[in-house]
Amino acid sequence: MSPLTEKMFELLKQVQGYIYPNEIEVHWSILVVVYPYLTGLVAGAFILASLVKVFNVKELQPVYRLALLTALAFLIIAPLPLLLHLGHPERSYEIFLNPNFTSAMAMFGFVYAWYLMIVLLLEIWFTYRRDIILWAAQEKFPMRFIHRVLSLFSNDTSEEGLAFDKKVVKGITIIGIPSAFLLHGYVGFIFGSIKANPWWSSVLMPIVFLFSAIVSGIALVILLYMIITPFRGGKIEMKCLDRMASFLFYAVIVDFSLELLDFIHRLYESEESIKILSELVMNKLFISLGIIQVLLGMLFPLGMMIAIKLFRLEDELRKLFYFVSVILIQLGIFATRWNVVIGGQMFSKSFRGLTTFKMEITGIEGLLMTLLLLILPLVILSVLIKILPPWEKSPNIVLGEE
């Protein structure tokens, strides 16, 4: 007996009620949980960065470049879990060469390429262009070479050039916001458009995905900012932190309201699937949804942020509250992705039974691989920060200029 079959016989003992015989295998495993989690962070971090350029939120200037680099680092890794999950990764190029235009998934290649090439890389390049040239002028090999290549051998450090850069960046950001919406809304659509699955099939799905993306992205940038700044001997700017937390607060409220609306709507409509979905929530998702996603991931952080707003806590305590909140929010959003992806496969489409998901530790779809995929973007980010320091001012630029 193969290990797969052995595992299935083991799972069979834990099936409650009746499931279709082909449903014993949970087809989209933890890697498919990681994918929307990563793209969510990308979209969220980018939207935070756009607040600076499009809406002129000056307080967020210290994290603007960090947010952009974070989005890039996570975007580079985002397709990896999908690729690893495929039965035939060597054929993945077919999605680009022979896309089926009625498939939401086939659009992946285009949305991804658009976002990476047109939005993120261009915006980062124009943001850094002049600085890179100035850095290269003062450096030795190999950094000098790296920066020369990254600047695409541009030499223009004039004020007119800089003004042009700024104009372009603003333009890209304006295209970038709908693109970020597209990137993550589209991921939600992949699930929301599956009419066979009542847990997924919801018109709200893309919007819920989007707002949870914004929540997770802002929370991640706050977390990174709070960790990295003391490490490099800097001081956390409370104005910036408060402003980010304020945006986070409103995003969590919208996200929470949308999910609550979805929940009430389902209960009120009480369709054919409601019985099995209630069993799913009470039985299989109680901890990951009730405790981690809602209580720890939303209500707790909301409570802390309300406390901060009400009681005008002092800086150190505020920092502590923020820090704990953003960690809990990350945990909560990961649980959100888990509950959508894994939860949606734990009940039978016969609506008569529940199955179980057993995560492996090793192996391609295992826990260790998941951790690796979650750490990899941070490694890439640290390299990006080395090459393109987000806070270092270039020598000839007057402070306050960006």
Partner 1 sequence: MDRRKFSEKLFTLVASLTLIGKFYNKAKAQTPASDYDPSKHYYGMGIQIDKCIGCGRCVEACKDENSVPKEPFFFRTWVERYVIKKDGDVIVQNIDPRINDASVGVNEKDMLRSFFVPKLCNQCDHPPCVQVCPVGATFKTVDGVILVDDKRCIGCRYCIQACPYGARYLHPETETADKCTFCYHRITKGLLPACVEVCPTQARIFGDVKATASPLSRFKRMNKLHVLKPSLNTEPKVMYSNLDGEVR
Binding region for partner 1 (CB under 8 A): 1-2, 4-5, 8, 12, 17-25, 27-28, 82, 85-89, 91-92, 94-95, 98-100, 102-106, 108, 190, 194-197, 345, 348-352
Residue 1 CB, shortest distance to partner 1, in Å, is 8
Residue 2 CB, shortest distance to partner 1, in Å, is 7
Contact 181, 159 (CB under 8 A): no
Residue 347 CB, shortest distance to partner 1, in Å, is 12
Residue 103 CB, shortest distance to partner 1, in Å, is 4
Residue 101 or 153 having the CB closest to partner 1: 101
Three-point CA angle 378, 334, 18, nearest 5°: 140
Residue 300 or 351 having the CB closest to partner 1: 351
**Phi and psi at residue 384, to the nearest 5°:** -60, -40
Structure tokens at 134: 């100035």
Residue 81 CB, shortest distance to partner 1, in Å, is 12
Which of 402, 395, 399 has the alpha carbon at shortest distance from 137?
395
Residue 24 or 236 having the CB closest to partner 1: 24
Q: Distances in Å between the alpha carbon of 380 and those of 39, 73, 146, 227, 286? A: 15, 6, 16, 16, 35
Residue 20 CB, shortest distance to partner 1, in Å, is 3
Give the C-alpha separation, 199 to 336, whole Å: 13
H-helix segments, 78-158: 79-85, 94-97, 108-113, 122-138, 143-150
Structure tokens at 1: 């007996």
H-helix segments, 193-237: 205-231
Residue 20 or 145 having the CB closest to partner 1: 20
Residue 17 or 290 having the CB closest to partner 1: 17
Residue 24 or 397 having the CB closest to partner 1: 24
Give the C-alpha separation, 190 to 109, whole Å: 14
DSSP state of 347: B
Structure tokens at 170: 């603003």
Give the C-alpha separation, 54 to 47, whole Å: 10
Residue 127 or 273 having the CB closest to partner 1: 273
Q: Look-up: residue for tokens 């987000």?
A: 390
Residue 95 CB, shortest distance to partner 1, in Å, is 5
Residue 221 CB, shortest distance to partner 1, in Å, is 31
Residue 74 or 108 having the CB closest to partner 1: 108
Name every residue whose Cβ is closer than 8 Å to that of residue 151 and which is 6 or more positions away in sequence: 129, 132, 133, 136
